[in-house]
Amino acid sequence: MKKGKSGNRVTRSIGGDAGVFIFLVFFGCFMALPFVYAIMQSLKPMEEIFIFPPRFLVKSPTVENFYLLTQYAGNTWVPFSRYLFNSLFVTIVSTLFEVIVCSMSAFVLSKGKIKGKKLIYGIIVLTLLFSYDVTAIPSYVVMAKLGLVNTYFAIILPAIAVPLGLFLMKQFIESMVPDPLIESANIDGASPFRIYWSIVMPMVKPAWLTLIIFSFQQIWSREGLEYIYNEALKVLPTMLRQISAGGIARAGVAAASAVILMIPPIIIFVISQSNILETMSHSGIK
């Protein structure tokens, strides 16, 4: 172990590095275990799914569960492509507007000179205590009063204003965007929107990329059954749940459905994963 001039440790020993590496590998394998288990279940034939004692690994892998899933999806009243379009449309639009609304609101609360912004921010932080299930009934009442039940907007609008997204963006803007930079832009005659779009957003790119990951994962897996009753407007998770709810005989199909639903969020995460750690360190999220 080496020490600097002040006596502080600057490097770890080889044994310390090996210990940290082993711990991270073990922790990473533990975190990946549910994903591996879901994939194994989707590849098991029916006789292996209900074998006792249960086995983690698959002995005779097969893609029959995925084939049956496509068959069941083809026998539904609405084409599979329609469910897929509904999910992609709702997820992409909701994610896009959530990033815009949360980043604009965070910019105003961080750098704007408005009265009562501390009170507004305090109320927003307070809403972090309430989960989606707690606000489900009030949200439905609001959507019903607006006449948006059984429309795409019944899922999109509640997903736009997310307190966690605003909190994340505000913390990052306050730590990464200095006030003198905003003042210099104001002196040069830049409009608030120009400052937001040309200065703030490029500087907080890791934050809104992380917000895209969180938003996409949350909205993609949301069924919205409390708002959508028209079969042609239902999303992909709803259809897959209806197929896999046919009893224990469709346990393998249910596992295949879970694997399919995991793929898009994983792809988004892999593309943007390098920005998550930086965002967490600046926003204060643990």
3-class SS string, 18-62? HHHHHHHHHHHHHHHHHHHHHHHHHCCCHHHHCCCCCCCCCCCCC
Is residue 135 over pLDDT 60?
yes
- In the chain, the domains with their CATH numbers are 1-37 (no CATH), 69-283 (1.10.3720.10)
pLDDT at 284: 47
Q: Supply the mean pLDDT for the chain.
A: 82
Q: pLDDT-derived band of residue 286, with 50, 70 and 90 as boundaries?
A: very low
Is residue 101 over pLDDT 50?
yes
pLDDT at 94: 92
Is residue 4 over pLDDT 60?
no
109 burial (CB, 10 Å; 0-12 / 13-18 / 19+) is buried
Q: In angstroms, what is the C-alpha Rg of the chain?
A: 24
Q: Give the whole-number percent of the chain exceeding pLDDT 70.
A: 90
Q: Which amino acid is at 282?
A: H
d(CA 84, CA 79): 9
Most confident range, picked from 13-22, 167-176, 244-253: 167-176
State the virtual CA torsion across 84, 89, 91, 93 in degrees, nearest 10: 170
pLDDT at 280: 53
Which position has the token pair 């609101």? 105
Sign of the CA dihedral running 127, 130, 136, 138: negative
Among 214, 254, 208, 88, which Cα is nearest to 155's?
88
Is residue 46 over pLDDT 90?
no
pLDDT at 96: 93
Among 70, 97, 212, 213, which Cα is nearest to 152's?
97
d(CA 65, CA 38): 12
Read off the pLDDT of residues 175-210 as tens digits, 9 standing for 90 and up: 888 888 888 888 888 888 899 899 898 888 888 888
d(CA 182, CA 190): 9
Contacts of 11 (CB under 8 A, 6+ apart): 1, 2
Structure tokens at 146: 């607006």
Return the ∠ at Cα 15 (arms to 10 and 17), rounded to 5°.
55
Q: What is the mean pLDDT of residues 138-166?
A: 87
Q: pLDDT-derived band of residue 1, with 50, 70 and 90 as boundaries?
A: very low
pLDDT at 274: 62
**Higher-confidence position of 257 and 279:** 257
d(CA 83, CA 257): 13
pLDDT at 97: 93
**Higher-confidence position of 280 and 75:** 75
